Amino acid sequence: MSMQEYMDKAERYVLHTYNRFPVVLERGEGVYLYDTEGRRYLDFAAGIAVFALGYKNEVFNRALKNQIDKVIHTSNLYYNVPMAMAAEKLAAASGMDKVFFTNSGTEAVEGAIKAARKYAWMKDGGTDHEIIAMKNSFHGRSLGALSVTGNTHYQEPFKPLIGGIRFADFNDLESVRSRVTDRTCAVILETVQGEGGIYPADPAFLQGMRELCDERDILLILDEIQCGMGRTGEWFAWQGYGVKPDIMTTAKALGCGVPVGAFVLNKKTAEASLVPGDHGTTYGGNPLACAAVSAVFDQYEKKNLLEHVREIAPYLEKRLDELTENSEFVTARRGKGLMQGLVIREKTVGQVVNEALSAGLLVISAGSDVLRLVPPLVITEENVDEMIEILQKCL
């Protein structure tokens, strides 16, 4: 079939909740994707910060194939080998204590919300506890995750959402303080806001949040779904701030394309929140997904990927700063590590994204005016130069 025929078939049978770009991607190799007609695209989107290892990593692929030949699913009624191995590696990387595997980042946020409410209920038996979330945030599309997403555009058609949510200004400690009550049980925020426009947390803000939560026995939930798994040069972005959460959510690059997420708890929270019967999932922690997680951690270590990100990120920032300085359409760059955003004026971001696609470059947007760059973590300086050359022509 032609590429257009594949697109027509998808539009006929798949519910139209995405305005997809007019391309059918078929295979990948390294940092490039290829469509069904053989055209090559330099990938600076990585499946929305997912494919950290790049495409066709033979060791990763072989680990999945080997697990398929053993067992794909058993349910959480039984133990399985990959789950135990993956949980150990995730706990070690985060320095936290207990892991619950989910199918997605949204589900990880749902679990974090439940753990926080159960922790508060265990203290006083109350059911009227509140959670403080950030304006301009994004945590997912399910009703619980949507309730703590600080964007009315996503929320409006689906109200009423879960109650007891108060919104504060990101990077404004006094704004958060003003919303704390004696019913506040948790604060949730992205260490680096992604969908909202690539805004890293200020160090003083994040440190102040940790101190505030410690003072009031409030749980600090850090959403690392997009900014975690090495994207900032640390396993998780909060590690670069010296601030540790009580609950962390992770997904995306955790499985490098295999749908898997997790929420991770420190000892204090794990011992006084969820118990058998409180939470569950049929597929979460299944052998295939956890074999992927385990292989991802192994590949990060073998490739020394965190150090590579710390080495390549300054070069990416330098080239983006040069582009910003020399382009009348780019007003600012912001970001952290290999999670970067360019603020675009005059031309719409959507137009730039479409022109880049036509020129063989995959980039995506964030917010209403930001061009988002979240490439595979294995990119080289040559890949950065190629991206800059294409993007300059598009701008």
Q: What is the pLDDT of residue 303?
A: 97
Tell the residue number behind the tokens 């509140």, with chain if given: 130
Identify the bridge partners of residue 223 per DSSP, sorted by sequence position. Answer: 190, 249
Count how many domains the chain has.
2
Q: What is the pLDDT of residue 367?
A: 87
Q: Which three-class secondary structure state does DSSP give residue 36?
A: coil
Low-confidence ranges of the chain (pLDDT < 70): none
3-state secondary structure string across 232-266: CCCCCHHHHCCCCCCEEEECHHHCCCCCCEEEEEC
The total of other beta-carbon atoms located within 10 Å of residue 187's CB is 28
- Angle at which helices 287-303 and 58-70 cross, to 10°: 150
Residue 138 annotated to the active site: yes
For residue 243, is it within any domain? Answer: yes
State the CATH number of the domain containing residue 345: 3.90.1150.10
Among 303, 336, 368, the domain boundary falls at 303
In whole angstroms, give the CA distance from residue 131 to residue 120: 11
Nearest C-alpha neighbor of 190 from the set 140, 154, 142: 140
Same domain, 323 and 176: no
Same domain, 41 and 83: no
In whole angstroms, give the CA distance from residue 265 to residue 180: 22
Identify the bridge partners of residue 246 per DSSP, sorted by sequence position. Answer: none
Q: What is the pLDDT of residue 346?
A: 76
Same domain, 294 and 326: no
Same domain, 337 and 284: no
Same domain, 205 and 228: yes
Q: What is the pLDDT of residues 259-304, one digit of tens each?
A: 999 999 999 999 999 999 999 999 999 999 999 999 999 999 999 9
Same domain, 173 and 211: yes
Same domain, 149 and 224: yes
Helix (H) or strand (E) holding 335: strand 330-336
**Cis geometry, peptide bond prior to residue 160 (ω within 30 degrees of 0):** yes
Same domain, 35 and 127: no
In whole angstroms, give the CA distance from residue 141 to residue 149: 9
Maximum CA extent, the chain: 62
Q: What is the pLDDT of residue 27?
A: 97
State the CATH number of the domain containing residue 168: 3.40.640.10
Which domain, by its residues, includes 84? 71-303
The percentage of the chain sitting over the pLDDT mark of 70, rounded to a whole number, equals: 100
For residue 61, is it within any domain? Answer: no
pTM: 0.97
In whole angstroms, give the CA distance from residue 140 to residue 188: 13
Identify the bridge partners of residue 330 per DSSP, sorted by sequence position. Answer: 344
Alpha helices in the chain (DSSP H): 3-13, 46-49, 58-70, 81-94, 105-124, 143-147, 152-155, 173-177, 203-216, 267-270, 287-303, 305-326, 349-358, 381-394
For residue 287, is it within any domain? Answer: yes
For residue 63, is it within any domain? Answer: no
Same domain, 129 and 262: yes
**Strand bridging mode 219-223 / 40-43:** unpaired
Among 303, 337, 366, the domain boundary falls at 303
For residue 288, is it within any domain? Answer: yes
Residue in 138, 170, 205, 297 annotated catalytic: 138
In which region does residue 15 sit, left (phi positive, over 0), alpha (psi from -120 to 50) or beta (all else)?
A: beta
Residues 150 and 167 sit within 8 Å (Cβ to Cβ): yes
For residue 183, is it within any domain? Answer: yes
Among 256, 275, 303, the domain boundary falls at 303
Q: What is the pLDDT of residues 331-358, one digit of tens each?
A: 999 999 999 999 998 778 999 999 999 9
Same domain, 31 and 80: no
Q: Counting every residue, how long is the chain?
A: 395
For residue 64, is it within any domain? Answer: no
For residue 291, is it within any domain? Answer: yes
The total of other beta-carbon atoms located within 10 Å of residue 277's CB is 6
**Strand bridging mode 261-265 / 130-134:** unpaired
Residue in 98, 118, 223, 263 annotated catalytic: 223
Same domain, 194 and 334: no
Same domain, 145 and 256: yes
Residue in 89, 98, 252, 336 annotated catalytic: 252
Residues 61 and 265 sit within 8 Å (Cβ to Cβ): no
Residues 353 and 391 sit within 8 Å (Cβ to Cβ): no
